[in-house]
Structure 1
Amino acid sequence: MALLWKQVLQLEQCTQFAADTVIKKALAWYSNSLPSLRVISLEGACQLSPTGLKALVMSAPALSSVNLSHCALLTNVGIKILANSLKSTLRELNISYCPKIDAMDVHLSLMELEHLEALSVAGIYAVCDRFVSYILCALGHNIKKLDFADCPSLTKYALQHIAHYSRGLLSLNLSNLVGLPNMGLEYLGDGCRRIETLKLCANRFSDDTIAAFLEASGQSLKELSLNHVKEVGSQTAYSIAKYSTNLLSLDLSGCKKITDQALGLIVDSCKSLKLLKLFCCTQITDVFLNRHSNPMVHIVGLQSTSSRDIVSHFESSEDFLEYSPLKFLSDDTDRKNSGSSEPVLKKRRQGKLMEAETEFSMKRK
């Protein structure tokens, strides 16, 4: 009975526990059996099916944050059930690396999540420009966090949609999207000026394009990852030092064109910097390590540094409800049960879909 009042439940990698039969016996005893549960993580629950997910959401109607990443059996049906049950409460959803999910088959259901603030669809191959357009046209005004890592079909138009619809975006992951051209980052710099966390790992943006983006939109950055962006060099370093002085964490691992002098400029200028990652940067020497003047920064990844404990301290798993503290969610269940606005919401969703279709077609011409 102790679970009855739990607000947060984390069961990552509990493959046996998260089987459908076990969930029904241990958690989902009956409808609304977990009225206080707000946050659940079932990451890696490879035996969780739509049937088990349905039982879970029926037992916890006030869920605000759901992590279902790496759930191999989860299908489009499960996402539709979740969206229909939690349309008025869900604020964060992670369905990354779920191989059976077709993004374009579930986009209408996701568009019903009118309070959604954080969406992760990393590694879902079917995520495309059209999907981004539809979702952000409907939800972009609320969205604060997006994760599109490992979605190879995305092009510059996806970044154009992000810049147009999500000007309040705070966190964006575009890692391993090698097909994105420089123009995509230019779109982003024009529209998103409040980004605090940006991950561009293993992309092909040029040094001057990244530098220009940081000049336009780097002032709010607290975490920047340019891991294995091969063209990063002196221009990016100068822009970081001049425009991104609020950085707390910077990853330049694999950036072979960064020099001792460039790193020294960054570290000496960014007084708030606490973590600098330099894995695979064999060109960096003791000249940088011995001459920079920032005693607060922890440097990891070089042969002369050893900081497993430091890395684990700064790479702790992301907190759920990052943008929506639990104390603000006490009345979500009442809004969910009202039901009176359903026809209005349906008409609004249809209007947003038509608007997105028109916008998408115009931008592709």
Structure 2
Amino acid sequence: MAHCFGGRQPPMYRLVRSALLYYAPLSFFWEASHYAAARRSIVDAALRDESSTALFAVRLQQARTSRPEKLFSHALFELELAGCNEVTEAGLWACLTPRIVSLTLSDCINVADEAVGAVAQLLPSLYEFSLQAYHVTDAALGYFSPKQSGSLSILRLHSCWELTNHGIVNIVHSLPNLTVLSLSGCSKITDDGVELIAENLGKLRSLDLSWCPRITDAALEYIACDLNQLEELTLDR
């Protein structure tokens, strides 16, 4: 990579490398990721400024801290918490700075409906939200409102076992502009939920219904009739 920058490491690499060295005893790692084209414009200006000390992407995996917000600055655009069972709801709230455009929460036992409410309330620019949380219910999706529809385009709900078709009602009413939706492992979703999706989320380009055992041929008919812009459909298992 260095030859592309006249023998100098790009600024994001220098930052991530130094963070790894400094925080190694905490047993987590920081990761700068490649942004999709739809989000790249948000950070382009900062990337052109080599003197910038802004932190763009953080991934915490099994971090043993209840106050993760103390580990990074507020100039944060992408955050992933994976298996961070010591992170409390208060700690998560403190992490949610308004600049975040991509958030992933997976396998964190303290993430429940109120945490999703904090996401909806505190992240006005959120573009991509990925959630794996076994305790999240339909009520969590009720926290989203049409004000998020202008920014939130990608919603991935993985193995949210308590979600039902009532949660789908909340999604289609509050987030009609979704282009990517995953309900992988949401085992209580039925054909009726898929019908709601097909009738109301006409901009969908990708839909993942894998590991949804209650989906039948009827759901495929709804998809074929109404989701004319769909490019990718996942039905594994």
Query: Which TM class, normalised by the smaller chain length?
Result: 0.7 to 0.9
Give a deviation string over 1:109-164, Cα, whole Å, max 9, x none: xxxx831121122x2432x232x22135xx21x2111111222211101221023x
| 1:294 aligned partner | 227
RMSD (Å) for aligned C-alpha atoms = 3.1
Give a deviation string over 1:199-238, Cα, whole Å, max 9, x none: 1114311111223235664542211111110111123211
| 1:264 aligned partner | 195
Query: 1 or 2, which has the higher strand percentage?
Result: 2
| Mapped contact 1:253–1:277 kept (Cα < 8 A) | yes
Closer/same/farther in 2, CA of residues 77 and 67 from structure 1, 3 Å limit = closer
| Mapped contact 1:103–1:124 kept (Cα < 8 A) | no
Give unmatched runs, 5+ long, in structure 1: 8-34, 37-58, 69-73, 84-100, 108-112, 304-365
| 1:129 aligned partner | 66
Closer/same/farther in 2, CA of residues 160 and 78 from structure 1, 3 Å limit = closer
For 1:252 and 1:106, the matched residues in 2 are separated by 28
Closer/same/farther in 2, CA of residues 125 and 168 from structure 1, 3 Å limit = closer
| 1:227 aligned partner | 158
For 1:218 and 1:173, the matched residues in 2 are separated by 18
Give unmatched runs, 5+ long, in structure 2: 31-51
Q: TM-score, normalised by structure 1?
A: 0.52
Shift of 1:106: 10
1:64 alignment partner AA: M
Give a deviation string over 1:158-178, Cα, whole Å, max 9, x none: 221023xx1121000111112
Closer/same/farther in 2, CA of residues 186 and 133 from structure 1, 3 Å limit = same
Shift of 1:181: 3.1
For 1:106 and 1:247, the matched residues in 2 are separated by 31
SS at the partner of 1:213? coil
1:274 alignment partner AA: R
| 1:274 aligned partner | 205
Closer/same/farther in 2, CA of residues 235 and 159 from structure 1, 3 Å limit = farther
For 1:235 and 1:171, the matched residues in 2 are separated by 25
SS at the partner of 1:159? helix
Closer/same/farther in 2, CA of residues 67 and 294 from structure 1, 3 Å limit = farther
For 1:159 and 1:172, the matched residues in 2 are separated by 11
1:129 alignment partner AA: S
Closer/same/farther in 2, CA of residues 240 and 65 from structure 1, 3 Å limit = farther
Closer/same/farther in 2, CA of residues 67 and 260 from structure 1, 3 Å limit = farther
1:177 alignment partner AA: C
1:198 corresponds to 2:129: yes
SS at the partner of 2:207? strand
SS at the partner of 2:176? coil
For 2:58 and 2:81, the matched residues in 1 are separated by 9
Closer/same/farther in 2, CA of residues 276 and 78 from structure 1, 3 Å limit = closer
Runs of 4 or more consecutive aligned structure 1 residues displaced over 6 Å after TM superposition = 104-107
Q: Given the alignment, which residue of 56, 76, 83 partners 1:150?
A: 83
| 1:114 aligned partner | 53
SS at the partner of 2:213? coil
SS at the partner of 1:200? strand
Shift of 1:257: 1.6
| Mapped contact 2:202–2:228 kept (Cα < 8 A) | no
| Mapped contact 1:233–1:257 kept (Cα < 8 A) | yes
| 2:93 aligned partner | 160
| Mapped contact 2:113–2:139 kept (Cα < 8 A) | no
For 1:105 and 1:291, the matched residues in 2 are separated by 44
Closer/same/farther in 2, CA of residues 193 and 285 from structure 1, 3 Å limit = same
Shift of 1:186: 2.0
* Larger of the two Rg values belongs to structure: 1
1:248 corresponds to 2:160: no
Aligned residues: 213
